Amino acid sequence: MHYRFWGLLDSCLAAAVVFTRIDTRKDGPIDNLVVLGDTAVHFMPTSNLAYRQVLLLALAGKREESTALMRQDLKSYPAGSAGFVKDLQASSPEVQQKAEFLVEMVKVEPQGH
């Protein structure tokens, strides 16, 4: 019983952490956030978490994984791409630069099924 509770709590905490603003100067190793993001998106597969995981992968230098997940997200959550771009534009210049290729994908990729 305790294991189930802590597993659920871990997933909730992961989602909460991933929803916070990403600041690569203060958040420590981005790989930790990638792991938390993976846990969160599997626990609560929402548009916001899915697009956040794409960004985390890009910031971790995992361009291939980020690109593949972005294609999937654009098909699964096409309406979420506008919010993703808006959130990215509000990010630091460093984050924007590392994720610029994702914005280009939003402009180019066909969305929906």
* 60, 61, 62, 103, 104 from 67: Cα distances, Å: 13, 11, 9, 11, 11
CB atoms within 10 A of CB 40: 28
The predicted-structure confidence for 15-60, as pLDDT tens digits, reads as follows 455 555 555 555 456 776 776 777 777 677 788 888 988 998 998 8
Q: Which of 23, 16, 53, 55 is nearest to 35 (CA)?
A: 53
Least Cα distance to 38 among 50, 24, 28, 25 occurs for: 50
Does the pTM surpass 0.75? The reply is: no
Q: Tens digit of pLDDT for each residue in 58-79?
A: 988 999 999 999 999 999 999 9
pLDDT for 6 equals: 42
Distance from C-alpha of 104 to C-alpha of 62, rounded to nearest angstrom = 17
Phi and psi angles of residue 41, each rounded to the nearest 5 degrees, phi first: -70, -30
In terms of DSSP H, where are the helices of 1-113? Answer: 2-19, 30-43, 47-59, 63-76, 80-89, 93-98, 100-108
| Domain map (residue ranges) of the chain | 2-108
* Amino acid at position 112, single letter: G
